[in-house]
Amino acid sequence: MRTFVNNHRFMMICLLTMWLKTYIVSKFVFNVSTENILQTIIFVLNPLSFMFIVFAFGLLMKAHFQRWYILTVSLLLSIALYSNAVYFREFTDIITLPMLVMSGNAGDLSTSVFELIRWYDVLFFADVILFAYLIWKKREWLTVTQVLYKRNKKVILAFLVSALVIIGLSQVDRPENPETMTHSFDREWLVKRYGLYNFYVYDAFIHTRTAAQALFSEEDDWDDIHDHLAQHRAPANPEMQGVASDKNVVMISLESIESFVIGESINGEEITPYLNELIGESYYFPNFYDQTGQGKTSDAEFLVNTSMYPLGRGAVFHTHSDNEYMGLPDTLRDEGYYTAAFHANDRTFYNRDIMYENMGYDDYFSQSYYDIGGDNTVGWGMKDIEFFEQSMEYLKDFSEPFYAKLLTLTNHFPYELDEEDHYIDPYSSSSDILNRYIPTVRYTDEAIKLFMEDMKEAGLYEETIFVFYGDHYGIAESHNEAMGEFLGKEIDVFENTQLARVPLIIHIPGQEGEELDTVAGKVDVKPTLLNLLGIPEWPHVMFGTDLFSEQREDFVVMRNGTIVTDDYLYVGETCYEKETGEPTLLESCDAMRERGEWEVFYSDNIIYGDLLRFR
């Protein structure tokens, strides 16, 4: 053994350094926790199973090539580790292979990416830099020796067997239910069990399998899905049926706005004064949860327009934009509506040019339709007030009835806003992100107020139903300490899930409205609108339920596997009592957990198999 180490000193040092670095990042950046000694051992050893295999290939190379191969492997693994660490800082998630398809949007994400980079990030690559220097200056000390396979089969086999033993060990503590792996959407669980690098091997397998799924799909695949939907279907509220019949529909995506700002004030000033006022004369849903995945805003659009769940890996807008869908715009167009989407961004961003047409939008008013530049841009693009003003020039000329979907931008991470546009002072806390978030939310609130006034002046207000929804969370878990200061309570796992609530406001002029406490999500928006507009649900495939239905179940499943009902909350393999926020018997959440897994599993199958083409 000592001879082997002396002859392969460079590989052993790189392997051990990479192993230690991976453990430290996984433990303290990804916050992976273990529940027992066996899980801890598996978690610590898992990275080695992948490293043994990839580094072993280098042993077969000549000395000159072996050094650069080992250094390149170390660099690539460091890049994978660092990229995930940066992404995790804001999104508390792991990068999946379908997300690499979205890398073409990187130019548009520059302000967000730079906000997440830290000066000390160079430490992620300190070992690679040091090894590159030593190869240049101290090559004779970093020994490498080519292993000839015929003479050293035992060495190669030892690496492979060690890797297989570690992989086999990871199966010892796996759940009894074999479907857990099939349905798994918990990437933290996968990284804990298989390690970050093996996760990508698994992700590649899933990516290959799902990519081919549509080729082998059949109409019979609908049978189990129909049974599941029928089992959980609740009839729409007949008293609300058609109350907004033939009215225009204006749906506004409130970028990154969470429910915690609604009704809140700082220094005696309301953060959302107009939305607070609007809620008083609207239908408001305070227990409306974010169900988006890695596609964020585009996932929110998918949810409200299809009543299906977004994918757990990547964004549907990118991976399956050519599928058949029963989109809300398409349905309304069949009912005589003119349908249009407004977004002051590049029309190809997130494949919206393809997806919007596929979902049934007649027109897409993108960046080229707006006068953008100078003082009317900040952060990600056009300021909301100017966006609404210029959008009105098109909207007021639409033939009625129409369906218009508008996406706001100003309240986007990293929440930049010129001081002259502040309608409220920044918050003062340990988080610059939260501090800047408050003025950008207030700015969007003001933009909505001015837009609604323009709708009244244009004579469109009375004949329009307005739907406002927060598209996804705004403040990441990494800012929970500051959020605790703001809310005056500790943000534990239970409270963190409560922060996943986003506002849903349905405003129908002439109706008083009310606050409804039903536990719901964006998947419920489409069936609710269909009923309000008097459009039959059949033949739509919808996982959501009319929010006004008296028979609906209080139930919502999020894309990360968290499930909420009126009685319980299931998150991170723990069941909590909703009323007390205290952990309870895991069995109490079994039924809701099983339903949640099947919900997203069946929805995924519809998308991966392009099953709507059979209807």
Residue 89 has pLDDT above 70, yes or no: yes
Residues 353 and 420 in one domain: yes
d(Cα 347, Cα 344) in Å, to the nearest integer? 8
Domain end point (choices 149, 181, 211): 211
Average pLDDT over residues 86-94: 79
Query: 175-184, 228-237, 548-557: which has the minimum mean pLDDT?
Result: 175-184
Q: How confident is the model at residue 158 (pLDDT cuts 50, 70, 90)?
A: low
Active site residues: 297
The residue among 136 and 429 whose pLDDT is bigger is 429
Asked if the structure places residue 591 within a domain, the reply is yes
Contact 217, 611 (CB under 8 A): yes
Question: Are 164 and 304 in the same domain?
Answer: no
The residue type of 52 is: F
- Whether 32 has a pLDDT exceeding 80, the answer reads no
Same-domain check for residues 326 and 407: yes
Q: How confident is the model at residue 102 (pLDDT cuts 50, 70, 90)?
A: low
- Looking at the fold, whether 190 and 235 belong to one and the same domain comes out as no
Residue 217, in any domain of the structure: no
Alpha carbon separation from 470 to 259, 262, 416, 522 (Å, rounded):
8, 11, 19, 9
Buried b (16+ CB within 10 A) or exposed e, 222-243: beebeebeeeebeebbeebbeb
When pLDDT is cut at 50, 70 and 90, the band that residue 31 belongs to is confident
According to the model, what pLDDT value does residue 478 have?
86
Predicted confidence (pLDDT) at residue 578 exceeds the cutoff of 60: yes
Which one is predicted more confidently, 270 or 144? 270
Whether the pLDDT of residue 183 is over 80: the answer is: no
In the predicted model, what is the mean pLDDT of residues 377-404? 94
User: Is omega for the bond preceding 310 within 30 degrees of 0, making it cis?
Assistant: no
Q: Predicted confidence band at 468 (pLDDT cuts at 50, 70, 90)?
A: very high
Closest by alpha carbon to 358, among 99, 614, 613, 102?
613
Residue 177: domain span: 2-211
Question: For 76, what's the count of Cα atoms within 13 Å in the CB-facing half-sphere?
Answer: 10
Judge whether 218 lies within some domain. Answer: no
pLDDT band at 2 (very low <50, low <70, confident <90, very high): confident
Tell me whether residue 342 is in a domain.
yes
The mean pLDDT of 534-557, rounded to a whole number, is 95
Q: Which range (141-145, 147-151, 370-374) has the least confidence? A: 147-151
Average pLDDT for residues 534-544, to the nearest whole number? Answer: 94
Instruction: Report percent pLDDT > 70 for the chain.
Output: 89
End position of a domain, from candidates 149, 183, 211: 211
How much is the pTM? Answer: 0.86
Has residue 141 been placed in a domain? Answer: yes
Q: Does residue 531 carry a pLDDT above 50? A: yes
Q: Which two tokens stand for residue 593?
A: 């957990």
pLDDT band at 1 (very low <50, low <70, confident <90, very high): low
Are 239 and 207 in the same domain?
Answer: no
pLDDT band at 106 (very low <50, low <70, confident <90, very high): very low
The tally of CA atoms less than 13 A away on the side-chain side of residue 381 is 21
Q: In what order do the strands lie in the sheet with 283-284?
A: 283-284, 504-507, 464-470, 248-254, 402-407, 338-342, 363-365
Chosen domain end from 151, 179, 211:
211
Looking at the structure, tell me whether residues 252 and 124 fall in a common domain.
Answer: no
pLDDT at 9: 83
- Average pLDDT, rounded, for the chain: 88
245, 330: one domain: yes
Domain count within the chain: 2
Which of 409, 419, 413 lies closest to 431 in space, CA to CA? 413
Q: What is the DSSP string of 197-215?
A: HHHHHHHHHHHHHHHTHHH
Same domain, 473 and 593: yes
User: Where residue 381 falls among pLDDT bands split at 50, 70, 90?
Assistant: confident
- Kindly report, residue by residue over 285-339, the tens digit of the pLDDT: 999 999 999 899 999 999 999 999 999 888 999 899 999 999 999 999 999 999 9
The residue behind tokens 């966006």 is 387
> Are residues 597 and 562 located together in one domain of the fold?
yes
Tell me which of 25-34, 66-75, 181-190, 251-260 is least confident.
181-190
Residue 284 and residue 314 in one domain: yes
**Domain check: are 79 and 165 in the same one?**
yes
pLDDT tens by residue, 336-360 = 999 999 999 989 888 999 999 999 9
Claim to verify: residue 200 and residue 232 sit in the same structural domain: no
User: What CATH number is given to the structural domain containing 434?
Assistant: 3.40.720.10
